[in-house]
Amino acid sequence: MTHQRKLWGAVVLLAGFHAVVLFAGFFAPYDYATQDRDSPFASPARIHFVDQRGNFHPRPFVYAAASQPAPMQFFVSGEPYKIAGLFASRIHLFGVAKPGRIYLLGTDAYGRDQLSRFLYGGQISLLAGLLAAALSVSLGIVVGAISGFYGGWIDEFLMRGGELFLALPWLYLLFAVRAALPLHIADWQVFLLLVVVIGAIGWARPARLIRGVVLSAKERSFVLVARGFGASDIYLLRRHVLPQTYGIVLTQMALLIPQYVLAEVTLTFLGLGVSEPMPSWGSLLSSLQQYYVLSSYWWMFLPAILLIPIFLAYYSAADALQERWKSVSL
Amino acid sequence: MTLFTEPLMNIRGLGKRYAQRRPFSRGRAAVCAFDDVNLAIRRCSTVAVVGESGAGKSSLARCLALLDQPSRGEIYWEGQIISGLPKKELFPLRRQIQLIFQDPSSSLNPRFTAAQIIAEPLRIHREGTPAQRYERAITLMKQVGLSPDAAQKRPSEFSGGQRQRLAIARALALEPKLLILDEALSSLDVANREMILDLLVDLQATRALTYLHISHDLQLVSQFAGEVAVMHQGKIIEQQSARALFACPMHSYTQELIEEIPAIEAILEERSA
Amino acid sequence: MRYLIRRLVHAILLLVAISIFSFALIQIAPGDFFDAMRLNPQVSAQTVDGIRSQYGLDRSFPVRYERWMRSLLGGQLGFSLAYNSPVSPLLRVRARNTLLLTGSATSLAWLLALPIGIWTAARKGKLPDRLVGLATSTLLTIPDILLFLVLLLLAVRTGWFPAGGMISSGGEEAGTWSKAKDVALHLFLPALGLAIVTLPVLLRHIRSAMIEVLDSQFLRAARGHGISRRRLLWRYALPVAANPLISLFGFSIAALLSASVLVEVILSWPGLGPLLVESILARDVYVVVGVVTLSSVFLVAGNLVADLLLYATDPRIRVE
């Protein structure tokens, strides 16, 4: 029973977090590129309820640089943004009136709000991870299904190919392919390229696992019965065999997404991914390579630290899924 | 009287070999499942093929159900050759020959509902709309003695006997002429066995079905089979009407089998009566 | 014997596939490499033409591949624009450093994981096992990048360890012993980081391999004979667990190489990692391909070594 709870807990957390990232424009007080040259490396603002004179205010406020209390406002109108690139809006969850500023996670060298950049960054890094994982698993399903169902030389050939992909150090492979592609192309193209490269390299393990399930499923009596009715191969795969793989598919997704998010973050961190001012979490962390940033401005670590609960949620989900499908093995 | 009627299914010299697939063995030793099988199945009859496990009975069942291609020999259906036909031509034939497996738990997809299971052959042969197929499924459920309320239940919610009824309902969906039962009663307890046998007898009368029973249990078979063929080590060694078989078996192996039956005297008495 | 030959053939095929892949990459890369080379005043026109003819750049694909393979096998890996030198000597030094780093990290990781893995396997389900399991899961959720950055922070803030490089400035002149100590000091943090990153997965696999052996019938029979626990563990269980562990070692090399790139960049260890990143940014195609090919060769060699070890230690494989 506990793995049911673990699974639901993880799913709720993840759904919540992904929803926040999807509506980053709403939750973030500022745009990801807005600079504030007057406040480079500002430390995170603290929310107060009691002012310096000891008076209690029900409305929380922060102290902006001018040492004037700036009350927080909710559902304010701020900078324009687009939800999922389609619907325009100006309403933000919270903000402070100008000239006050609210930097809950501090700012970077250009005075850009780190919270806003983190939330918008999720749209890049998380999405990259999700899409790449979906690509890997889809490729894995196709290859695994063909390999397991038809067997013979096609199986040999595909599995040997998979061994090749598994044997190579994937990061090197990633770099190599990235190197072959042009460096300076449009942002969305870089993003797409990253997704395709990361996703296309990782098909081998899901393919092998799915092949295993397909191999055992196709021998089950009910498949034979359907064959006896004259069902085509596609029908058998679609209705009887592939549904057996749902467990593995979900588990693989839960395991691959964090790995691929990390892959995108690493690539961008090293300068090989999306470029400024796109706020991939990798770009947010790249300034830490400078010693003075590293040792003096601790809040720049936060994007990396915030990855931990996300990964925890995904791994817990994967664990719970593995437990669940182990006990339901048919 | 039946001498001049074409048998429904006629099997001549059927044989099946499986190639050894062990990668480390030297040479290609082939395993022969059965060889030189001749069998004539007449309409509306109940024929039984009896033999111990490993005698090649299941392989035979699969070949006759068109799930496997035999290595040698021919299968005739209503006078036409059907063994060796390409897939497309076999498709309409599949409606007429159905196979029921021994273990109903594994022959029913645990994720499907009862209605989906029964309607599946209709779906594969693209008969009717989903609503019509559902109606058919309900009708069939009633005919095999299952309550239509159970239409949305999954196989795990049925008992063993009920699952076998489900399998039979499914097999009847396309209105077949021949039903091959591969040890279909062996996994049931005695009470269920009786009920299913009654059902089968009923269905045979109402639908003009022909049955081919594959079994290792001569005693079981003696209760309902009209004709019995005894299989030993891949060959049919004796084939007669049941009465004649029990009265004077021609082969020593058959004699052995008969003697193993505990209540044999009662049966012989009944038979001669 | 057949097993060894099979593995050798497999390794060779893998290397050939890698070489074709690397070669294809060079072909895809935009042709500005040679144009850039020509524009560079430091590189003489003769060098450029020499390289062009060496690689037969005006000929067909198979000819180019053959020329490339030939120079590859002759130890020639091309020319680096950024460093203005042939690639091979450049790679040699960097490769040595990376090997030093990954070698120490692997040894460290295995030295820690093996005893802990065996210890927790023997106490499966009890408190120490659960605690270690918890620690392992926690470590798994920490992204590598965070760990390495924290280690860098440690170095910068405390000054206990140097924050980068392999030798302190002026250290080349020192005697062998103090040079070794200097390098070791520089090596410590990156090796530690790499070891911590590979430790959790390693630990899990060792533990499950040991548990499988400890639960097996033959071991229970031996226990029934009254053989002492220690002897059981070391003389009976471990040799059998060695097979999956050696295979594990083979598989872990790929992950190790991937992780080493990041640690080398962040902690400024002069290995193949930073070289790779720089050369991609500089469009230094031959260096990129050289690094990828070389690391793949390491990988294949490492797996071959693992196969050899398997052959030597597991009698079942010899019989097959």
Picking from A230, A231, A240, the nearest residue to B109 by CB comes out as A240
- Predicted pLDDT at C316: 75
B273 has a pLDDT exceeding 60? no
CB-CB under 8 Å, C280 with A315: no
Chain C: residue whose CA lies nearest to A177: C25
Give A6 to chain C, closest Cα distance, Å: 15
Residues of C in contact with A178 (CB under 8 A): 280
Rounded CA-CA distance A179/C288 in Å is 8
Rounded to the nearest integer, the mean pLDDT of chain B is 83
Quickly state the pLDDT bin for A82 (edges 50, 70, 90): confident
B101 at interface of A, judged by CB pairs closer than 8 A: yes
Residue B259: name the closest of B269, B246, B242 by CA. B246
A23 touches chain C (CB under 8 A): no
Higher pLDDT, C26 or B140: B140
For B198-229, how does the pLDDT look when each residue is reduced to its tens digit (9 = 90+)? 888 888 888 888 999 988 888 888 888 888 88
Distance CA A280, CA A121 (A): 4
A168 or A112, which is more confident? Answer: A112
Quote the pLDDT of residue A329: 45
A167 touches chain C (CB under 8 A): yes
Average confidence (pLDDT) over A106-119: 89
User: Please, which residues 181-220 of chain B have a Cβ atom closer than 8 Å to chain A?
Assistant: none
| Residues of B in Cβ contact (< 8 Å) with A236 | none
Distance CA C3, CA C6 (A): 5
- Whether pLDDT at C55 is above 80: no
What gap in Å lies between CA C140 and CA C133, rounded to an integer?
A: 11
Model confidence at B84: pLDDT above 50: yes
> Which residue on chain B is closest to A231 by alpha carbon?
B124
Whether B132 has its CB under 8 Å from any CB of chain A: the answer is no
**What does the pLDDT look like over A274-304, one tens digit per residue?**
877 788 999 999 888 888 888 888 888 888 9
Q: Is B191 exposed, middle or buried (0-12, 13-18, 19+ CB in 10 A)?
A: exposed
The nearest CA of chain A is from the CA of C208 a distance in Å of 16
Q: Quick one: pLDDT at residue C30?
A: 52
Of all residues in chain A, the one with the smallest CA distance to C301 is A167
Q: Which residues of B touch A233 (CB under 8 A)?
A: none
Confidence of residue B27 (pLDDT cuts 50, 70, 90): low
Q: How confident is the model at residue A330 (pLDDT cuts 50, 70, 90)?
A: very low
pLDDT at A248: 87
Given a cut of 70, is residue A323 above it in pLDDT? yes
Predicted confidence (pLDDT) per residue in C246-265, tens digit: 888 877 887 888 889 999 99
- Give C 277-296 residues with CB within 8 A of chain A: 277, 279-281, 283, 285, 288-289, 291-292, 295-296
d(CA B233, CA B216): 13
ipTM: 0.86
- Summary mean pLDDT of chain A: 84
Chosen for mutation from B120, B127, B156, B164 (greatest number of chain A CBs closer than 10 Å) is B120
Q: Please enumerate residues of A whose Cβ is less than 8 A from a Cβ of B.
A: 220-222, 224-231, 235, 240, 243, 330
Question: Residue C244: pLDDT above 90?
Answer: no
Q: Is the CB of A230 less than 8 angstroms away from the CB of B94?
A: yes
Interface test with A, best of B59, B124, B126 (most A CBs within 10 A): B124
The residue type of A200 is: A
- Using CB atoms, which residue from C156, C295, C300 is nearest to A172? C295
Q: By the CB < 8 Å criterion, does A150 face chain C? A: no
pLDDT of residue A322 exceeding 50, the answer is yes
* Mean pLDDT calculated for residue range C289-314: 82
Other CB atoms within 10 Å distance of the CB of residue B123: 18
Hey, is A78 helix, strand or coil?
strand
The tokens for B85 are: 């036909």
Interface check for C299 against chain A (CB to CB < 8 A): the answer is yes
Nearest to B108 among A222, A228, A235 (CB): A222
Contact C14/A at CB under 8 A: yes
- Give the chain A residue nearest B89 (alpha carbons): A230
- Does residue B248 belong to the interface with chain A, where contact is any CB pair within 8 Å? no
What percent of chain C clears pLDDT 70, i.e. is strictly above it?
A: 83
Task: Give the pLDDT of residue A274.
Answer: 82
B196: number of Cβ within 10 Å = 20
Q: How far is CA B229 from CA B48, B57, B181, in A?
A: 6, 11, 15
What is the per-residue pLDDT for C43? 64
- The better pLDDT of the pair A186, A252 is held by A252
Per-residue pLDDT, averaged over C80-103, amounts to 84
B85-107 mean pLDDT: 86
Report, as an integer, the average pLDDT of A159-171. Answer: 78
Mean pLDDT of A250-268: 91
For position A183, what pLDDT does the model report? 61
B1 pLDDT exceeds 50?
no
Under 8 Å between Cβ of A79 and A26: no
Of chain A, the percentage scoring pLDDT greater than 70 comes to 94
What number of C-beta contacts closer than 8 Å exist between A and C?
116
Is B117 buried (19+), middle (13-18) or exposed (0-12) by CB count in 10 A? buried
Torsions phi, psi of C120, nearest 5? -70, -30
- Measured between beta carbons, which residues in chain A are less than 8 angstroms from residue C296? 168-169, 172
* CB of A19 less than 8 A from some CB of C: no
CB spacing of B101 vs A227 below 8 angstroms: no
Cβ contact B125–A330 (<8 Å): no
- Could you read off the pLDDT of A32-68 as tens digits, one per residue? 888 888 888 888 888 877 777 777 777 777 776 556 6
The share of chain A scoring above pLDDT 90, in percent, equals 23
Of C261, C262, C296, the CB nearest to A168: C296
Mean of the pLDDT values across residues B111-138? 90
